[in-house]
Amino acid sequence: MDVTDATFESEVIERSATVPVVVDFWAEWCGPCRTLGPVLEKEIAERGGAVELAKIDVDANREVSQQFGISGIPAVKAFRDGRVVAEFVGARSPTAVSAFIDDLLAPPRADGLIDGLRADRAFPGVLAALERDDTDAALAAIVSLIGEANPDDRERLRDLAVALFERLGPEDPLVVSYRRQLAAALY
Protein backbone atom coordinates (compact mmCIF):
# COMPACT_ATOMS: atom_id res chain seq x y z
CA MET A 1 0.00 0.00 0.00
CA ASP A 2 1.09 3.55 -0.61
CA VAL A 3 1.14 5.75 2.48
CA THR A 4 1.51 9.49 2.95
CA ASP A 5 2.38 11.88 5.74
CA ALA A 6 -1.37 12.01 6.48
CA THR A 7 -1.94 8.24 6.56
CA PHE A 8 1.36 7.04 8.05
CA GLU A 9 0.12 7.01 11.65
CA SER A 10 -2.89 4.79 10.93
CA GLU A 11 -1.47 2.67 8.10
CA VAL A 12 1.92 1.96 9.69
CA ILE A 13 2.17 2.89 13.36
CA GLU A 14 -1.30 1.70 14.44
CA ARG A 15 -1.36 -1.24 12.00
CA SER A 16 2.00 -2.50 13.32
CA ALA A 17 0.31 -3.36 16.62
CA THR A 18 -1.45 -6.16 14.73
CA VAL A 19 1.05 -7.21 12.06
CA PRO A 20 4.64 -6.17 11.33
CA VAL A 21 4.80 -3.47 8.66
CA VAL A 22 7.82 -3.02 6.40
CA VAL A 23 8.10 0.54 5.07
CA ASP A 24 9.96 1.19 1.82
CA PHE A 25 11.11 4.83 1.67
CA TRP A 26 11.71 5.49 -2.04
CA ALA A 27 11.60 8.06 -4.85
CA GLU A 28 10.61 7.77 -8.50
CA TRP A 29 14.02 8.96 -9.77
CA CYS A 30 15.98 6.44 -7.63
CA GLY A 31 17.28 3.50 -9.68
CA PRO A 32 18.14 1.28 -6.67
CA CYS A 33 14.64 1.97 -5.30
CA ARG A 34 13.07 0.64 -8.51
CA THR A 35 15.25 -2.48 -8.17
CA LEU A 36 14.48 -3.10 -4.49
CA GLY A 37 10.73 -2.43 -4.67
CA PRO A 38 9.77 -5.58 -6.61
CA VAL A 39 12.05 -7.71 -4.41
CA LEU A 40 10.29 -6.44 -1.27
CA GLU A 41 6.87 -6.95 -2.87
CA LYS A 42 7.67 -10.55 -3.88
CA GLU A 43 9.18 -11.54 -0.53
CA ILE A 44 6.32 -10.03 1.47
CA ALA A 45 3.69 -11.58 -0.82
CA GLU A 46 5.28 -14.98 -0.19
CA ARG A 47 4.65 -14.57 3.57
CA GLY A 48 0.87 -14.78 3.07
CA GLY A 49 -0.19 -11.78 5.15
CA ALA A 50 2.21 -12.36 8.05
CA VAL A 51 3.81 -9.00 7.23
CA GLU A 52 2.63 -5.98 5.25
CA LEU A 53 4.45 -3.59 2.93
CA ALA A 54 3.93 0.17 2.91
CA LYS A 55 5.64 2.40 0.37
CA ILE A 56 6.25 6.09 0.94
CA ASP A 57 7.59 8.52 -1.66
CA VAL A 58 10.16 10.63 0.20
CA ASP A 59 9.83 13.55 -2.23
CA ALA A 60 6.09 13.86 -1.72
CA ASN A 61 6.12 13.05 2.03
CA ARG A 62 8.92 14.99 3.65
CA GLU A 63 7.43 15.10 7.15
CA VAL A 64 7.61 11.34 7.78
CA SER A 65 10.95 11.13 5.99
CA GLN A 66 12.40 13.76 8.33
CA GLN A 67 10.76 12.19 11.39
CA PHE A 68 12.58 8.91 10.71
CA GLY A 69 15.88 10.48 9.65
CA ILE A 70 15.84 9.30 6.06
CA SER A 71 19.04 10.61 4.46
CA GLY A 72 19.62 7.92 1.84
CA ILE A 73 17.29 5.79 -0.23
CA PRO A 74 16.12 3.19 -0.63
CA ALA A 75 15.63 2.96 3.11
CA VAL A 76 13.62 0.15 4.66
CA LYS A 77 12.28 0.21 8.21
CA ALA A 78 10.30 -2.58 9.85
CA PHE A 79 7.73 -1.56 12.46
CA ARG A 80 6.26 -3.67 15.23
CA ASP A 81 4.11 -2.28 18.04
CA GLY A 82 4.51 1.25 16.73
CA ARG A 83 8.29 1.40 16.62
CA VAL A 84 11.19 0.56 14.33
CA VAL A 85 12.56 -2.89 15.15
CA ALA A 86 14.82 -3.46 12.13
CA GLU A 87 16.11 -1.44 9.19
CA PHE A 88 18.56 -1.19 6.32
CA VAL A 89 19.60 1.35 3.70
CA GLY A 90 20.44 0.58 0.08
CA ALA A 91 19.44 -2.08 -2.38
CA ARG A 92 19.77 -5.66 -1.14
CA SER A 93 19.77 -9.01 -2.87
CA PRO A 94 16.62 -11.13 -2.79
CA THR A 95 18.41 -13.48 -0.36
CA ALA A 96 19.25 -10.61 2.01
CA VAL A 97 15.70 -9.23 1.82
CA SER A 98 14.29 -12.70 2.53
CA ALA A 99 16.57 -13.06 5.58
CA PHE A 100 15.56 -9.58 6.79
CA ILE A 101 11.86 -10.50 6.66
CA ASP A 102 12.45 -13.95 8.18
CA ASP A 103 14.28 -12.29 11.11
CA LEU A 104 11.40 -9.85 11.51
CA LEU A 105 8.89 -12.70 11.70
CA ALA A 106 10.95 -14.89 14.03
CA PRO A 107 9.85 -14.96 17.67
CA PRO A 108 11.69 -12.32 19.66
CA ARG A 109 14.95 -13.69 21.08
CA ALA A 110 13.95 -12.39 24.51
CA ASP A 111 11.00 -14.81 24.63
CA GLY A 112 13.26 -17.86 24.35
CA LEU A 113 15.66 -16.52 26.96
CA ILE A 114 12.79 -15.82 29.36
CA ASP A 115 11.47 -19.34 28.81
CA GLY A 116 14.94 -20.59 29.74
CA LEU A 117 14.83 -18.61 33.00
CA ARG A 118 11.47 -20.18 33.83
CA ALA A 119 12.74 -23.68 33.08
CA ASP A 120 15.93 -23.21 35.14
CA ARG A 121 14.31 -21.10 37.84
CA ALA A 122 17.26 -18.79 37.39
CA PHE A 123 17.36 -15.15 38.50
CA PRO A 124 13.93 -15.12 40.20
CA GLY A 125 13.95 -11.35 40.74
CA VAL A 126 14.56 -10.70 37.04
CA LEU A 127 11.92 -13.25 36.05
CA ALA A 128 9.35 -11.83 38.49
CA ALA A 129 9.83 -8.34 37.03
CA LEU A 130 9.48 -9.66 33.48
CA GLU A 131 6.32 -11.57 34.36
CA ARG A 132 4.88 -8.30 35.76
CA ASP A 133 5.82 -6.72 32.42
CA ASP A 134 8.16 -4.36 34.30
CA THR A 135 11.13 -4.20 31.95
CA ASP A 136 12.62 -1.29 33.91
CA ALA A 137 12.79 -3.39 37.10
CA ALA A 138 14.10 -6.42 35.16
CA LEU A 139 16.93 -4.39 33.64
CA ALA A 140 17.74 -2.83 37.03
CA ALA A 141 17.94 -6.33 38.52
CA ILE A 142 20.17 -7.53 35.69
CA VAL A 143 22.56 -4.62 36.16
CA SER A 144 22.69 -5.19 39.93
CA LEU A 145 23.40 -8.93 39.53
CA ILE A 146 25.87 -8.86 36.67
CA GLY A 147 28.86 -7.43 38.54
CA GLU A 148 28.99 -10.30 41.05
CA ALA A 149 27.88 -13.10 38.71
CA ASN A 150 30.13 -15.97 37.63
CA PRO A 151 31.26 -15.83 33.99
CA ASP A 152 28.46 -18.07 32.67
CA ASP A 153 25.76 -16.14 34.52
CA ARG A 154 27.30 -12.82 33.43
CA GLU A 155 27.02 -13.90 29.81
CA ARG A 156 23.45 -15.12 30.28
CA LEU A 157 22.41 -11.87 31.97
CA ARG A 158 24.14 -9.81 29.27
CA ASP A 159 22.38 -11.79 26.53
CA LEU A 160 19.03 -11.25 28.23
CA ALA A 161 19.63 -7.50 28.60
CA VAL A 162 20.62 -7.20 24.92
CA ALA A 163 17.52 -9.19 23.89
CA LEU A 164 15.35 -6.85 25.98
CA PHE A 165 17.04 -3.88 24.30
CA GLU A 166 16.19 -5.42 20.91
CA ARG A 167 12.57 -5.87 21.96
CA LEU A 168 12.29 -2.26 23.11
CA GLY A 169 14.08 -0.73 20.13
CA PRO A 170 17.13 1.54 20.02
CA GLU A 171 15.21 4.77 20.64
CA ASP A 172 13.53 3.65 23.87
CA PRO A 173 14.70 5.72 26.88
CA LEU A 174 15.18 2.53 28.93
CA VAL A 175 17.58 1.20 26.31
CA VAL A 176 19.57 4.43 26.28
CA SER A 177 19.83 4.46 30.08
CA TYR A 178 20.45 0.78 30.73
CA ARG A 179 22.86 0.25 27.86
CA ARG A 180 25.26 2.62 29.62
CA GLN A 181 24.66 1.00 33.01
CA LEU A 182 25.17 -2.47 31.57
CA ALA A 183 28.45 -1.46 29.93
CA ALA A 184 29.67 0.05 33.22
CA ALA A 185 28.72 -3.09 35.15
CA LEU A 186 30.43 -5.37 32.63
CA TYR A 187 33.62 -3.38 32.20
Asked if 169 and 175 count as a contact pair (C-beta separation under 8 A), the reply is yes
Alpha-carbon separation of residue 101 from 52, 57, 58, 77, 78 (angstroms): 10, 21, 22, 11, 9
* Known catalytic residue at 163: no
* Known catalytic residue at 33: yes
d(CA 56, CA 26): 6
Among candidate residues 3, 21, 23, 30, the one labeled active-site is: 30
Asked if 64 and 5 count as a contact pair (C-beta separation under 8 A), the reply is yes
Among candidate residues 3, 22, 33, 101, the one labeled active-site is: 33
Selection from 138, 140, 41 nearest residue 97 by Cα: 41
Catalytic residues: 30, 33
